Amino acid sequence: MSLEDAAAADDGRDLASYDFDGDVVGRIQSCEGPAPASNDPGPCTPPPEAAYRYREAHRRYSLGLLADAALPSSDRLWHATDTLAAGWLTAAQGLLAACLAHLPVLLGAALGTPPHAGVRDHLPQVRHVAVTSSDLLPSLAKLALFRLDRFFAGRDVLSSRVHGKLECFARLRDRFPGSAAFVAIGDGREEEAAAAALGWPFIKVSLGRCTLGRAEKGGVPLTSLTVMEIAGALGI
């Protein structure tokens, strides 16, 4: 499930004065319900009333309104969460920013593009995509609350709850054809198996430690995972 799936049911109605509280979406089963039968033909589509909510959530997410405007105490919440997670949010922000800054240069050098001024626009692009087993709307809210939304465009957040992570990964492969290279990072067996099925390198992480490949022990602490280790998984 992605925002693109929701958009398929959106008729483009002007939502400026739309009464979200008064429509019938609460009495209609949306896409993010129980998993469909195995012979389901493809991504399910929510009703228009639900699609309006996805569009409004996407608008707020893109403007950074899911956290700051709705929760004046978001600063305290973020710092408390980061403390409880032993600095995971700070580390995640730093790693994602470093990937955007340095991986294009490393990839460009591997492809023979020298890292001098004026060639940045011609370097390979790096894109972060989140595939989550949670529902789509709560996942967008969580990324916003964790202040990771600036690293993940709304259309690059996918929920695997209905069809599983292998199908989500396959859709990403089809979205970025040609010379695109992928690295999957996660802490679950499902994403590890999905990455293996598509031949993608996988970096297994946990709350305490990070292991490269399939090794269950050793490696580096999660908060110390570096761009160079991700580049190494890409073979550069």
Predicted structure pTM score: 0.79
The reported pLDDT for the residue numbered 208 is: 56
**CATH number, domain with residue 180:** 3.40.50.12350
The reported pLDDT for the residue numbered 95 is: 94
Dist CA 94 CA 151 (whole Å): 11
The reported pLDDT for the residue numbered 92 is: 92
The two tokens of residue 96 are 């994602």
The reported pLDDT for the residue numbered 130 is: 96
The reported pLDDT for the residue numbered 220 is: 53
Which structural domain range is residue 207 located in? 3-233
187 is in an annotated binding site: yes
Q: Please report how many Cα atoms fall inside a 13 Å half-sphere around the Cα of residue 51, on the Cβ side.
A: 16
**Count of other CB atoms within 10 angstroms of residue 98:** 14
Question: pLDDT (tens digit, 0 to 9) for every residue of the chain, 236 residues total?
Answer: 788 888 888 888 999 998 888 876 654 444 444 444 433 333 455 678 888 888 998 998 988 876 554 566 778 888 998 998 888 899 999 999 999 999 988 888 877 766 554 555 667 889 999 999 999 999 998 998 899 999 999 999 999 988 899 999 999 999 987 778 999 998 888 999 999 999 999 998 875 544 444 444 444 567 888 999 999 998 88
**Nearest one of 68, 92, 215 to 145, comparing CA atoms:** 68
- Domain count of the chain? 1
Alpha helices in 148-236 (DSSP H): 165-175, 189-198, 227-233
198 contact partners, CB below 8 Å, separation of at least 6? 166, 169, 170, 173, 182
Dist CA 173 CA 190 (whole Å): 17
**Count of other CB atoms within 10 angstroms of residue 117:** 5
